[in-house]
Amino acid sequence: MTTDVINSSEIKNLAPIFGHTSFDNHEQIVFCNDKDTGLKAIIGIHNTVLGPALGGTRMWNYNTEAEALKDVLRLSRGMSFKSAITDLNLGGGKAVIIGDAKTQKTPALMKRFGEFVHSLSGKYITAEDIGMETSDMDLVREVTPYVTGISEDKGGAGNPSPITAYGVFMGMKAAAKYKFGNDKLENKKIYVQGIGHVGESLVEHLTNEGAKVIIADINEERLQAVSKKYNAEIYRGSNLYAEEMDIYAPCALGATVNNETVGMLKAKIIAGAANNQLEKEHIQGPLLQQRGIVYAPDFLINAGGIINVYAELEGYGKPEIIRKTENIYNTTLEILTNAEANGVTTNEAALNIAKNKIETRKKEHSK
Ligand code: NAD
């Protein structure tokens, strides 16, 4: 007689959502489908203890639905910690739209997506991410107030990317101060991977400071344009990770620091805009630490964008946006120092602070 024994991979298959490795106690996950516009989207609401879950919408041509789900779960979790560490009264959420932003994004699809956001009555507030423009947020705004990152002439704070880039620049300078004893980036060899909305603006700050900037992207047109504008060298090699450099700035997609790349990296600092740069933070975090590579936690240094869109909700202006974004320098330096003192990875040090803030607020709520 055979016994029905379920092995662990089968158990995982039976629990594709609540048992997902990136689930991490999400409060709510919303699957949105609209036959007429072709919309297929997932909204992840990770945590709303500190406030409504705010996070951008990414439109990407995912190979599978599972890939899209994993992305939204990882991204929305990151938003909870980003807002917490930046002291914003916001929870963590994010949305992904499955499809090619260049060919499948239509005004009707964006508005239909906006209606799904509206149906959550403000528990989730959207903004832009990869594949989205300020004009898309303006379309969403036509059907719901629960959107940020709308254009300045419509009363919004505009494109958050330049502010995100400025925050990354601040975090990078703090990491340089920690690692080299000086925050000047002049003559530092810096690889910027991904020169989109944020990457290009970061290149501008870096070239203004006299850094030796090398740019990499899969979009040849952008490479040509950005190289010409800032006189930046284009990377033509096949393995950027193994190149000699002072700083690696991931500004494209996440998970570029993974088991394959972590051992090759020659950078002394990793500081960039991409979300979830470490594929598995509990594995690559300690490996980077052992190798003496300073990792400026992504969710800490790329918070400029959320500071910018939060201004729309709180009604503060540009000077306060800049002040809060510049403070990323101090927080980064504090966290890098604190991690060393406590013998934890820089990612853990930042996460611990963010988690404590959420827990403290939760206790206050339950009093
Ligand atoms: P974007 O879409 O404007 O730019 C991304 C760039 O990366 C594009 O030029 C694309 O061609 C390039 N790219 C994609 N895959 C690549 C690869 N494999 N190698 C090299 N280049 C590649 O996006 P963005 O708004 O500049 O955001 C960049 C990153 O920063 C994303 O991970 C985003 O989630 C994160 N981020 C953005 C903001 C913001 O304010 N825009 C805020 C926080 C975090």
Q: Which residues contact 363 (CB under 8 A, 6 or more apart)?
A: none
Catalytic pick among 40, 70, 94, 105: 94
Residue 367: predicted pLDDT:
79
What pLDDT, on the 0 to 100 scale, is given for residue 12?
57
- Cα separation of 81 and 335, whole Å? 14
pLDDT at 8: 61
Distance (Å) from CA 131 to ligand 1 centroid? 9
Q: Which residue's alpha carbon is nearest to atom 1 within ligand 1?
A: 196
Sheet with strand 269-270: strands edge to edge: 233-234, 212-216, 189-193, 247-250, 269-270, 294-295
pTM score: 0.93
Q: Compute, in angstroms, the gap from residue 3 CA to the centroid of ligand 1.
A: 50
Q: Hey, CA dihedral for 212, 167, 124, 69, is it positive or negative?
A: positive
313 Cβ below 6 A of ligand 1: no
Q: Using the atom order of ligand 1, give the atom closest to the CA of residue 198.
A: 26
Nearest ligand 1 atom to alpha carbon 305: 40
Q: Which CATH superfamily is domain 18-76+91-159 in?
A: Leucine Dehydrogenase, chain A, domain 1 (3.40.50.10860)
Give the residue among 63, 72, 61, 64 at the shortest CA–CA distance from 23.
72
Determine the Cα–Cα distance for residues 92 and 104; give it in Å rounded to an integer.
Answer: 27
Say if 18-76+91-159 and 162-355 have the same CATH topology.
Answer: yes
Place of tokens 């000699």: 244
The answer to whether residues 121 and 81 touch, using CB atoms and an 8 Å cutoff, is: no
Q: Which tokens go with 187?
A: 């003559």
Position 357 scores a pLDDT of: 97
- Give the H/E segment covering residue 213: strand 212-216
**Ligand 1 site, residue 144, Cβ cutoff 6 A:** no
Architecture of domain 162-355: 3-Layer(aba) Sandwich (3.40)
Q: Ligand 1 atom closest to Cα of 273?
A: 30
pLDDT score recorded for residue 1 = 39
Secondary structure of the chain: what % helix, strand, coil (to 5)?
A: 45, 15, 40
Q: Decide: 149 in ligand 1 pocket, CB within 6 A.
A: no
Q: Give the pLDDT confidence score for residue 7 in this predicted structure.
A: 65
Q: Give the residues of the chain that fall short of pLDDT 50.
A: 1-3
Q: Is the CB of 217 under 6 A from ligand 1?
A: yes
Task: Give the number of other CB atoms < 10 A from CB of residue 123.
Answer: 18
Using DSSP, state whether 86 is helix, strand or coil.
coil
Indicate if 70 belongs to the active site. no
pLDDT score, position 9: 61
Q: Indicate if ligand 1 lies below 6 Å from the C-beta of 86.
A: no
- Alpha helix positions (H), the chain: 8-14, 65-85, 107-119, 134-141, 161-180, 197-208, 220-230, 281-290, 298-301, 304-314, 318-342, 346-365
Indicate if ligand 1 lies below 6 Å from the C-beta of 226: no
196 lines ligand 1 (CB under 6 A): yes
User: Is the Cα torsion angle 345, 213, 164, 166 positive or negative in sign?
Assistant: positive
For the chain, domain boundaries:
18-76+91-159, 162-355
Q: Which atom of ligand 1 is nearest to the CA of 256?
A: 18
State the pLDDT at residue 78: 96
Kindly report, residue by residue over 329-359, the tens digit of the pLDDT: 999 999 999 999 999 999 999 999 999 999 9
State how beta strands 91-98 and 212-216 pair: unpaired
pLDDT of residue 366: 85
Q: Specify whether the CB–CB gap between 97 and 57 falls below 8 A.
A: yes
